[in-house]
Amino acid sequence: MRVTLAKRTFPALVLLLGSAAAFAIDTSRPEVQQFINRMVDEHSYDRDTLESVLQDAESKESILEAISRPAERTLEWHEYRDIFLTRERIAAGAAFWQEHEAELSRISEETGVSIEMLVGIIGVETYFGRITGSYRVLDALSTLAFDYPPRSRFFTSELEQFLLLVREEGMEAADATGSYAGAMGRPQFMPSSYRAYAVDSTDDGKRDIWTNWSDVIGSVANYFVRHGWQADKQVVAPATLGAQWQGETPENQLKAEETVTSLSHQGAMFSTELAGEEPAQLITLTGEDGKEYWVGFHNFFVITRYNRSVMYALAVHQLGQEIALEVNDSAR
């Protein structure tokens, strides 16, 4: 689906970046003025400063095109998995683990979040800091707040959070770069997540998720702790459904509504040492050879709080496991 910019008059210069148009945000638009008024009234933001910042923002058609076709919605599981579970990325992850082993071990021990999970997240999100996005966060959030009606409310809130973050951290709004959706830095935090979960792991008075690996790793771990990660608990297990399967195969969900016992009684076969009352949910994906079945446990659905996709959660888990095997093999 192609998403186009809303029809309106653009008094400012139209820039052509390849085939993608970019338009300066018109701060006289009612919805923009409403946003400015709210920032002034609720957060005592200086009106002139805010108008100057937003006048510098550009609404980009390339951002609208990108958000209309996220990989989680257009690819099957085996195609999605192949993006992240490559020899190159696994080797890069092993090198990252070995280089930052002291910090990874310290933070994992302090928080209970496994090293496999930490490197899995950073590996999927930014290829261990190699790919952090080249869009200005100001442009991404302004575009989606004012020119993408399906999620305008969410991105208007994130633009609000970003401008508060800029003020709190002493940042220049125009300097921050990230993804087409406004996710920032090596862990790809949205502004609300940055404000809520980023930590200063080095006690230098800054929460630097762009260049400080200790802060990055600590922030990812803190995100998982705050969303209920359970230390040393199983994440997911492969499952088979035999002729005895009596349950349904519902659409994949982002929370566990069954238990280990209830799925077992319905005929799902999987291996776990978790207690019978532990939350569990059947997951159905399309692999190269047809349907694949998995059972996700509590921690699996904690991963989906980072990105609301079961394919994402499984890719993160599997990448972390493969990197751990690579590290262990190299240590022999």
Residue among 302, 145, 161 nearest 233 (CA) = 302
Q: Is 208 helix (H, G, I), strand (E, B) or coil?
A: coil
Backbone φ, ψ for residue 17 (5° rounding): -110, 95
Whether the Cβ atoms of residue 146 and residue 152 lie closer than 8 Å to each other: yes
> Measuring CA to CA, how many Å separate 144 from each of 54, 111, 223, 228, 315?
13, 35, 24, 30, 27
Cβ atoms within 10 Å of 242's Cβ, excluding its own: 8
With both helix axes pointing from N to C terminus, report the angle between 87-99 and 115-126 in degrees, rounded to the nearest 10.
130
| Strand 20-24 to 268-270 pairing | unpaired
* DSSP 8-state symbol, 69: S
Cα torsion at 250, 255, 258, 264 (round to 10°)? 80
Active site residue 278: no
Active-site residue, from 103, 125, 160, 258: 125
Both tokens of residue 45? 């933001």
Whether the Cβ atoms of residue 128 and residue 120 lie closer than 8 Å to each other: no
> Residue 306 and residue 300: Cα distance in Å, rounded?
11
Cα–Cα–Cα angle for 133, 186, 20, rounded to 5 degrees: 5
| Helix segments in the chain, DSSP class H | 30-43, 47-55, 61-67, 71-74, 77-84, 87-99, 101-111, 115-126, 137-147, 152-169, 191-197, 213-226, 260-266, 298-303, 310-331
The residues carrying an active-site annotation are: 125
